[in-house]
Amino acid sequence: MNIFKKAYCRIFQTVFKIAIPLLPYRQPKILRSVNDCADILIGANISKAFIVTDRGVIDCGLCDALFSALDDADIKYCIYDKTVPNPTVSVVEDARNEYTANGCSALIAVGGGSAMDLAKAVGARIVRPKKSLNKMAGILKVRKKLPLSIAVPTTAGTGSETTIAAVITDETTHRKYAINDFPLIPKYAVLDYKLTLGLPKTMTAYTGMDALTHAVEAFIGRSTTKKTRKCAVDAVKLVHENLKTCYDEPTNADARRNMLFAAHYAGIAFTESYVGYVHAIAHSLSGRYGLQHGMTCSTLLPVVLESYGKATHKKLAVLARECGIATDTDKASVAAEKFIAWIRDMNEYLGIPKGFAEINEADIDDMAKYADKEGNPLYPVPKLFGRKQLKQIYYKVKS
Ligand SMILES: [Zn+2]
Ligand 1 center from residue 114 Cα (angstroms): 11
**End position of a domain, from candidates 196, 225, 260:** 196
Annotate 23-79 with DSSP letters as a single string.
S----PEEESSTHHHHHHHHHTT-SEEEEE-BHHHHHTTTTHHHHHHHHHTT-EEEE
* Residue 27, domain member (yes or no): no
Neighbours of 114 (CB within 10 A): 23
pLDDT tens digits, residue range 48-62? 999 999 999 999 899
* Residue 186, domain member (yes or no): yes
What average pLDDT score do residues 320-331 get? Answer: 97
12 plus 124 within the same structural domain: no
Phi then psi for residue 267, to 5 deg, are -65, -45
Ligand 1 center from residue 45 Cα (angstroms): 34
* Residue 209, domain member (yes or no): yes
Of residues 365 and 2, which shows the higher confidence score?
A: 365
208 plus 333 within the same structural domain: yes
* Residue 26, domain member (yes or no): no
The three-state secondary structure class of 80 is strand
Ligand 1 center from residue 216 Cα (angstroms): 11
339 plus 373 within the same structural domain: yes
150 plus 209 within the same structural domain: no
What average pLDDT score do residues 193-210 get? Answer: 93
Res 49: pLDDT: 98
User: Is the pLDDT confidence value at 198 over 90?
Assistant: no
Q: What is the CATH number of the domain that holds 256?
A: 1.20.1090.10
216 plus 317 within the same structural domain: yes
What average pLDDT score do residues 74-98 get? Answer: 96
256, burial (CB in 10 Å: exposed 0-12, middle 13-18, buried 19+): buried
Ligand 1 center from residue 218 Cα (angstroms): 11
Spatial separation of the C-alpha atoms in residues 79 and 383, rounded to whole Å: 45
What average pLDDT score do residues 110-130 get? Answer: 97
* Model confidence, pTM: 0.91
Q: What is the CATH number of the domain that holds 57?
A: 3.40.50.1970
Q: Which domain holds residue 260?
A: 3-21+200-396
User: Where is 189: in which H helix or E strand?
Assistant: strand 188-190
Residue 98 confidence class, pLDDT cut points 50, 70, 90: very high
Ligand 1 center from residue 328 Cα (angstroms): 30
217 plus 300 within the same structural domain: yes
249 plus 297 within the same structural domain: yes
Ligand 1 center from residue 253 Cα (angstroms): 24
Spatial separation of the C-alpha atoms in residues 346 and 243, rounded to whole Å: 9
Share of the chain above pLDDT 70, in %: 100
Res 307: pLDDT: 98
Q: What is the mean pLDDT of the chain?
A: 95
**End position of a domain, from candidates 159, 175, 196:** 196
pLDDT tens digits, residue range 127-154? 999 999 999 998 899 999 999 999 999 9
Ligand 1 center from residue 295 Cα (angstroms): 9
247 plus 374 within the same structural domain: yes
**End position of a domain, from candidates 196, 215, 236:** 196
186 plus 322 within the same structural domain: no
How many domains in the chain? 2
Ligand 1 center from residue 278 Cα (angstroms): 9
Q: What is the CA radius of gyration of the chain?
A: 20
Nearest Cα neighbor of 338 from 348, 326, 327, 347 is: 326
* Residue 144, domain member (yes or no): yes
User: Is the pLDDT confidence value at 66 over 90?
Assistant: yes
Residue 30 confidence class, pLDDT cut points 50, 70, 90: very high
252 plus 318 within the same structural domain: yes
117 plus 163 within the same structural domain: yes
| Count of CA atoms in the C-beta half-sphere (13 A) of 55 | 2
163 plus 231 within the same structural domain: no
Res 23: pLDDT: 86
Ligand 1 center from residue 103 Cα (angstroms): 33
Nearest Cα neighbor of 10 from 213, 307, 303, 311 is: 311
Nearest Cα neighbor of 272 from 213, 228, 217 is: 228
Ligand 1 center from residue 61 Cα (angstroms): 26
The three-state secondary structure class of 298 is helix
255, burial (CB in 10 Å: exposed 0-12, middle 13-18, buried 19+): buried
User: Is the pLDDT confidence value at 317 over 90?
Assistant: yes
Ligand 1 center from residue 191 Cα (angstroms): 18
Nearest Cα neighbor of 359 from 298, 301, 281, 294 is: 281
